[in-house]
Amino acid sequence: MGTESNISDEKFYNRKNEITLLKKLLSTLEENSSPAIMLSGIRGVGKTSLLKKIKNEMEKDYLIDYIDLTCIDIYQTGKLTKIDLINEFYKVWMETINNNGLKTIINKIKKYFKTKNFKIKEIISTEGYPIPLIETKDNYKKLSDFVLELPQKIYEQENNGIKGVIMIIDEFQALKDLANDLDNFLWLFRSVIQNQRNVAYIFSGSISSRDDMIEKIAGRKGAFGGRMLTIEINPFTKDTVYKYLKEKLPSLIFEEDGFERFYKCTRGIPHYVNTFAQLLEKNTPLDDKKIKKEFQNLLPFFAIHLINLWSDLTLREQKIVTSLSEGSLERKKIAEKLI
C-alpha cells in the first residue's frame, strides 16, 4: 500500500506552469506594480496548498498576509458584516506585522489611534497590539480606509527590508454572505487599493469560473473593471493522472478499462486521486470490474473519511450541506434557512 510520503507532492504535480506564472506576476511588485489576481477552482483541487507553497517560497523577500474568510468566527454564525471583515483584516495584518518583528509600524499604529477621533467603543489588546471595536456605522468608512491602506503604509516604512507586500484572501466566496453590502464593500476595497504600488492581492475561492461572484469582482462591469487576472486551477487531466501514478506509485497495475474507471471515480481531483490510489490493491492487475469491487469494499473507509471531512467543515458549511440534502435551492432560500 502506498503511503503519504510516497506521493506527498500530489498537490503540486504538474503545477509548474501555475507556480511559475503566479511567482512572475507577484515579482512585478519590484517594478512598482500592484497586481490583482483571482485564483478559482473546485474544492479539493489544491488551491490553498498552492498558495501556501507560494507563500513559503516568497516570504523571505516579501511580507505576506494570509486570511481564510471561512475561519472568521462571526462567519460561522451566519452574521458576517463589512465591519467584521475590516476588523479581521486589521487583526490579521497586526499579527503578520508582529510575527515579522516590525515594531516600528506597531508603535505608529498605536499612536494613530490615540491621536485620531475614531469614536470607537474600546480598544482591546491582543498579544501587545490594539484591536478596535467599532461603536457606530459612522466609523466604518474612516476605519476601513485606514485598514485597507495599511499594506501600502507597511511597504513605505519597511521597503529597505522587503520587496513588496502581498495579501492572500482565501475562500473569498464567503463574501457572498454580505448580500446587499457585497457590491459596496468590493467598490470601496477597489477605490482604496487602486492607487497602491508594491502591494499585490490574491483572491482565491472554491468556485468555478462561471460563478456570478467572479463577474462581480473580476468581470468587465465588476469592481475591478476587468483589470484582475483570473487563473482557474483545474483537476488533473487523464494523462496527468496516469503519468503521476506511474511515477509516484508504480506498484499500481491498471488495465485500460480499469484506469478509465479509476479516473471516472476520482474525476482527476488530486485529493481523491491520492486517497483512492493509496487504498487500492498493489502489484495486481486492476480492470474495470476490480476497481468497482475495490471501491465498494472501501465504502466503509470512505464513509469514515467523509465523516472526518464533515467535522472539518465550519458550522455554516454544515448547515448549507444539510439544507441541500433534500434537493437544490436558490441561494436566497438557503440564506433563510441559516437564520
Neighbours of 150 (CB within 10 A): 21
20 belongs to a structural domain: no
Predicted confidence band at 297 (pLDDT cuts at 50, 70, 90)? confident
Question: Does position 238 have pLDDT exceeding 90, yes or no?
Answer: yes
205 belongs to a structural domain: yes
Quote the pLDDT of residue 117: 60
**Angstrom distance (rounded) from CA 17 to CA 92:** 30
More confident residue, 258 or 190: 258
Q: Choose among 196, 141, 201: nearest CA to 169.
A: 201
> Locate cell 455554516: which residue?
316
Number of domains comprising the chain = 1
C-alpha cell at 198: 508594491
Q: Assign residue 187 the CATH number of its domain.
A: 3.40.50.300
* Percent of the chain at pLDDT exceeding 90: 18
157 belongs to a structural domain: yes
Quote the pLDDT of residue 225: 72
166 Cβ contact list (under 8 Å, min separation 6): 26, 29, 55, 58, 62, 63, 64, 65, 199, 200, 201, 202
39 belongs to a structural domain: yes
Q: Which residues of 77-114 are buried (b: 16+ CB within 10 A; e: fewer)?
A: eeebbbbbbbbbbbbbbbebbbebebeebbeebeeeee
C-alpha cell at 16: 509548474
* Percent of the chain at pLDDT exceeding 70: 78
Predicted confidence band at 1 (pLDDT cuts at 50, 70, 90)? very low
Neighbouring-strand partners of residue 122: 133
Amino acid code (one letter) for 18: E
Q: Residues 180-190: pLDDT tens digits?
A: 788 888 888 88
Domain ranges, residue 70: 32-101+142-232
Q: Residues 87-126: pLDDT tens digits?
A: 888 888 888 888 888 777 766 776 666 556 655 566 666 5
272 belongs to a structural domain: no
> Locate cell 475614531: which residue?
118
| Sequence-distant contacts of 235-240: CB under 8 A, at least 24 apart | 235/42, 235/45, 235/267, 235/268, 235/269, 235/270, 236/13, 236/14, 236/268, 236/269, 236/270, 236/273, 237/268, 238/263, 238/268, 240/13, 240/14, 240/268
Predicted confidence band at 76 (pLDDT cuts at 50, 70, 90)? low
**Angstrom distance (rounded) from CA 269 to CA 234:** 8
C-alpha cell at 258: 480499469
Quick one: DSSP state of residue 319? H
Predicted confidence band at 5 (pLDDT cuts at 50, 70, 90)? very low
C-alpha cell at 310: 464533515
321 belongs to a structural domain: no
25 belongs to a structural domain: no
Quote the pLDDT of residue 166: 94
> Global pTM?
0.74
Q: Residues 116-155: pLDDT tens digits?
A: 665 556 666 656 666 666 555 556 777 788 889 889 988 9
Quote the pLDDT of residue 332: 62
Quote the pLDDT of residue 112: 64
17 belongs to a structural domain: no
